[in-house]
Amino acid sequence: MRERVTLTIDENLLKNIDHSIDGHNVKNRSHAIEMLLNKALGSKMPSKALILAGGKSKPLKSKFKDTPHALTPFNGSTVIEEIIKLFKKYGVKDIIITLHHDADVIQNHLESKDLGVRLIFIKEKFPMGTAGALRNAKEYLKSTFFMTNADELKNINLKDMYMFHLDHHGKTTIALTTVEDPSKYGVANLTGYNIISFMEKPKKQNAPSNLINAGLYVMDPEAIEFIPDGFATLENDVFPKLAKENKLIGYSFGGQWFSLNSEKEYSIAEKKWKDI
């Protein structure tokens, strides 16, 4: 929520502020002043994160045949514990986890660990999709929050991403990572920092960019209001609506990101992953 205020500012200082306005990164005078205040005073980081762990697992067959994807062993722990470690690093310690497939297995594993965070588990009776799972957690999400998938490794500067989200006034900011071959993913089509659409698994030569959805988001509670009733996905039922209103922002980051959908990808991650 924003409030309108009246400020009296030195003329020379105001000229310097106006010089920073480019209509793209800095849209207008109010935006410029808000960005300066955020950087000078610091903005309180979101305290909550939502992890989507309810999807049907795709275990790496020969390595971890009967293991839920979120509990794939990695770096002395599991994939979902690496994600929790990332949130904890940035002071995000209230973590909601949505579950369906293998719900008890995942919950029991996490509750047996001393992770240094507060966990809330929401179990779905029926699969509700990525957006439906988010809607089910609405009562816990009254202010800006992070949300992520549970089946990828990622190491992103969450503070920088959150500041970027504040600076660009979207309702949802999506972390975008660069891949050499985007043909296996949903590829972002952007105008400036605004995501216009995603092209699903395009031919390499037809891809609008090499930027793909990294499965990590900063979201305002208002974004939840875009979710329809019943089974719903972010990709099909929410993001297009936000994009139409220029409220879907793309944050291209330089941190690490690894998909773990094959033994080859897992082996690459083992060799290249740098601990959080």
Which has the higher per-residue pLDDT, 245 or 38? Answer: 245
> What pLDDT score does 47 carry?
95
- Residues contacting 219, CB < 8 A, separation 6+: 134, 141, 144, 145, 146, 147, 171, 172, 173
Whether the per-residue pLDDT at 55 is higher than 90: the answer is no
Residue 29 lies in a domain: no
In contact, 183 and 204? CB cutoff 8 Å? yes
What mean pLDDT comes out for the span 124-153? 95
Residue 27 lies in a domain: no
> What pLDDT score does 41 carry?
61
Residue 192 lies in a domain: yes
User: What is the β-pairing status of strands 118-123 and 186-191?
Assistant: unpaired
Q: Which two tokens stand for residue 154?
A: 């990622």
User: Would you call 40 helix, strand, or coil by DSSP?
Assistant: helix
Whether the per-residue pLDDT at 5 is higher than 90: the answer is no
Residue 209 lies in a domain: yes
Alpha carbons 199 and 205: distance in angstroms, whole number: 12
> What pLDDT score does 40 carry?
66
For residue 153, the domain's CATH number is 3.90.550.10
Residue 40 lies in a domain: no
> What pLDDT score does 23 carry?
62
Range of the domain at 190: 48-272
Q: Minimum mean pLDDT among 5-9, 58-62, 106-110, 131-135: which range?
A: 58-62
Residue 15 lies in a domain: no
Q: How many domains does the chain have?
A: 1
- Band (pLDDT 50/70/90 cuts) for residue 96 is very high
Using CA atoms of 154, 158, 163, 166 in order, give the dihedral in degrees to the nearest 10: 70
User: Would you call 72 helix, strand, or coil by DSSP?
Assistant: coil
Give first-to-last CA distance, the chain, whole Å: 33
Whether the per-residue pLDDT at 127 is higher than 70: the answer is yes
pLDDT digits (tens, 9 = 90+) for 215-226: 999 999 999 999
User: Would you call 131 helix, strand, or coil by DSSP?
Assistant: helix
Residue 131 lies in a domain: yes
User: Would you call 205 helix, strand, or coil by DSSP?
Assistant: helix
CA proximity to 151, closest of 240, 235, 265, 44: 265
In contact, 88 and 115? CB cutoff 8 Å? yes
Residue 6 lies in a domain: no
CA atoms lying within 13 Å on the CB side of residue 48: 18
b/e burial code for range 14-25 (CB count within 10 A of at least 16 → b):
eeebeeeeeeee
> What pLDDT score does 59 carry?
64
pLDDT digits (tens, 9 = 90+) for 235-276: 999 999 999 999 999 999 988 999 988 888 999 999 999 988
Which has the higher per-residue pLDDT, 64 or 146? Answer: 146
* Mean pLDDT of the residues in the chain: 89
> What pLDDT score does 240 carry?
94
pLDDT digits (tens, 9 = 90+) for 166-215: 989 999 999 999 988 888 888 999 999 999 998 888 888 888 889 999 99
How much is the pTM? 0.84
Partners of 173 in the β-ladder: 218, 249
